[in-house]
Chain A
Amino acid sequence: MAKTVVIDPVTRIEGHAKISIYLDDAGEVEDARFHVVEYRGFEKFCEGRPFTEMAGITARICGICPVSHLLAAAKTGDKLLAVKVPVAGEKLRRLMNLGQFTQSHALSFFHLSSPDFLLGWDSDPATRNVFGLIAADPDLARAGIRLRQFGQTIIEKLGARKIHAAWAVPGGVRSPLSEEGRTWIRERLPESFETLYTALNLFKQLLDRFTTETEEFGKFPSLFMGLVGKNGEWEHYGGHLRFRDSEGTIIADHLSEDDYHSFIGEAVEPWSYLKFPYYKPLGYPDGIYRVGPLARLNVCDHIGTEAADRELREMRDRAGGLPTSSFFYHYARLIEILAALEKIQQLMDDPDVVSERVRAQAGINELEGVGVSEAPRGTLFHHYKVDENGLIQKVNLIIATGQNNLAMNKTVTQIAKHYIHGNEIPEGLLNRVEAGIRCFDPCLSCSTHAAGQMPLHVELIGADGALLNEVYRR
């Protein structure tokens, strides 16, 4: 008799998400689905608005990565104006994105995920959060909070606000970094490096113990996609798109975001509002690809900064090639923070970051544009069509969490298969499933268990519709 396990709701994200786990007649897991409902309507209500507002509007899609939307919108705007952003403007946008990577990854690692690693997956959920962490290891918790604050403050120093800063505009940015801001960033860098190294060393020690997690948390071959620079180096803002498979073979390279329709398809499933992007040449669902920290590290040949490159080599050594376990997203996040810190350090010595020539002005010169940037969670596309006056006619947004949709489903399935056998829902399952999802850091409310934990509802339903078992956690 086939049965269904439903975890509902998973989260408090915009809209609603739940997990259904389908059992076969033998009570073994057959499949699992992570349903997401988000961003609904956003594309629709942008229609008719001046394209210059897109940065402001889309930055509101998400409270955690507004900078990413800001940059993607500004880059799409650049294309509509058909201007070249002044060098200083580009460097400043990069600086903001590096600040964003630092704060977002630090949040994911220290606040959201490390309680699992450090306190244990099966520890008491009441204290398995950032407060429990503060009690157990106050120094580490405090350092993590300060590292996040470092990234946040960079964004604030540039955009005058921590979130929703409509500072990146079509053609460049509004204002350069102040000397005061530069001094502040310089002074906080050494401490930030130190915190990062502490976390990285700790994580590497733990990794040796977490063999089950490494094996079960979404380890499967897939493609990876991300931006890489001219020489195959790690990118987060410019460059071109590359697909690479788990064996390390470059499947496609030098792809331009302008042609995304030719290599990314968007499948729709009746059971989820979130589209399922896939690599078109391989079809759906074989064209499954992952984006985000691990994908970026897997697609690049090297990072381009000394310390981060050393860590990248070590990660690949440990995995015996390109890591395919989604658990390595956490590892990749830490290496990316290191890369961001090194790049921020380089920018601090660059006179351009305080230059006044930061914005190019122009009218509408193109009626269609695609902008791409790397959000902490993965590649983000904005595609606008405008009329000759710059009013939006059509918008398509391809969001990181969407692109990881197939991979998240696979991860949940794998975890469920490992932990569920028969009608019983093992106690530790809920947290493992959450943790599996959390590897992808899909959304703050979704990944938050900072002040408590996600409300979870698991139902075990037989094929005849009878409720066989039920677990609640609020």
Chain B
Amino acid sequence: MSVKTLTINDQPIAIEEGKTILDAAKEAGIPIPTLCHLEGVSDVGACRLCLVEVKGINKLLPACVTQVAEGMEISTNTPKLQEYRRMAVELIFAEGNHVCSVCVANNNCELQDVAVEVGMDHSRFVYRFPDRGVDVSHSQFGIDHNRCILCTRCVRVCDEVEGAHVWDVAQRGAACYIVSGMNQPWGEVEACTSCGKCVDACPTGAIFRKGTTTAEKAGDREKLEFLVTAREQGQWTR
């Protein structure tokens, strides 16, 4: 297996071919904020939070889906990137209806953490206040589309780890939303095994256990670790 050499923030790094810039940064201990990336499932580059600058390329590249190449000179934290990341998070907040104070995931939310990380104190964009629904037809779980950031982690974990493929993405652009089954109420989707992996994969309070009250959705880190290794180890339940 061939090895590529490159620099990230002037730090020389050697990493095997086929890995992503995000992998390389991780190995070198250089933090890059992410949201749609979830260890253990494929990457889609949906959130644009992991954008980096590569010398000689005049557009910003998402680290999670860009493979390393020989001699790359990568910067992860330029003022331009800081500004873009902050903007990306602000846009996510302006796009949905994120009310942390009453959210089940308050204090346990990756979106919230990322907002703090990029130094967002308010959104400079006008809030859209879209009219979105809540589906609590499933006997154990619910999905609140107001809090969905369309990272598709639920879609991928359900498809790639559980193999049930309950979730999908419908529509385009601003009308985009996550659907269960053939755009049915979740409770009516026979494919759903009620494994709860999507609950743990969801970075926000969008998918939750029913009955959970404000700030009560505790991120089960162990379960997330399990998701990471599940496919390799061929373990499908915990």
Contact = CB atoms under 8 A, between A and B. Distances in A.
Contacts, number: 48
Given A166-B215, A166-B216, A56 B101 contact: yes
Interface string B93-112: 00000000110100000000
A169 interface: yes
B122 to A, nearest CB: 19
Interface string B126-155: 000000011011010010100000000000
A170 B137 CA distance: 19
B95 to A, nearest CB: 19
B210 interface: yes
Interface string B210-225: 1111111000000000
A283 interface: no
A166 B211 CA distance: 13
Nearest to B185: A389
> Which of A48, A49, A50, A57 has the largest count of B CB atoms less than 10 A from its CB?
A50
Nearest to B131: A48
Contacts of B136: 50, 389-391
Interface string A221-261: 00000000000000000000000000000000000000000
Interface in B180-224: 187, 210-216
Contacts of A49: 134
A57 B102 contact: yes
B215 A50 contact: no
B213 A166 contact: yes
Interface string A161-192: 00010100110001000000000000000000
Nearest to B187: A389
Contacts of B213: 52-53, 55-56, 166, 169-170
Contacts of A57: 102
A154 to B, nearest CB: 20
Interface residues of A, number: 19
Nearest to B99: A57
Contacts of B211: 52, 170, 361, 363
Contacts of A363: 139, 210-211
Given A56-B213, A169-B213, A48 B102 contact: no
A259 to B, nearest CB: 28
A56 B134 contact: no
Contact of B102 (A60, A170, A361, A391): A60
Nearest to B211: A52
Contact of B134 (A164, A170, A361, A391): A391
Given A60-B101, A60-B102, A164-B101, A53 B133 contact: no
Contacts of A55: 213-214
Interface string A379-419: 00000000001110000000000000000000000000000
Interface in A39-92: 48-50, 52-53, 55-57, 60
21 contacts: A48-B133, A48-B134, A49-B134, A50-B210, A52-B210, A52-B211, A52-B213, A53-B214, A55-B213, A56-B214, A60-B102, A164-B101, A166-B214, A166-B215, A166-B216, A170-B211, A174-B216, A389-B136, A389-B137, A389-B142, A390-B210
What 9 pairs between A and B have smallest CB-CB spacing? A56-B214, A166-B214, A56-B102, A389-B136, A169-B213, A57-B102, A52-B213, A166-B213, A389-B137
Interface of B: 101-102, 104, 133-134, 136-137, 139, 142, 144, 187, 210-216
Interface of A: 48-50, 52-53, 55-57, 60, 164, 166, 169-170, 174, 361, 363, 389-391
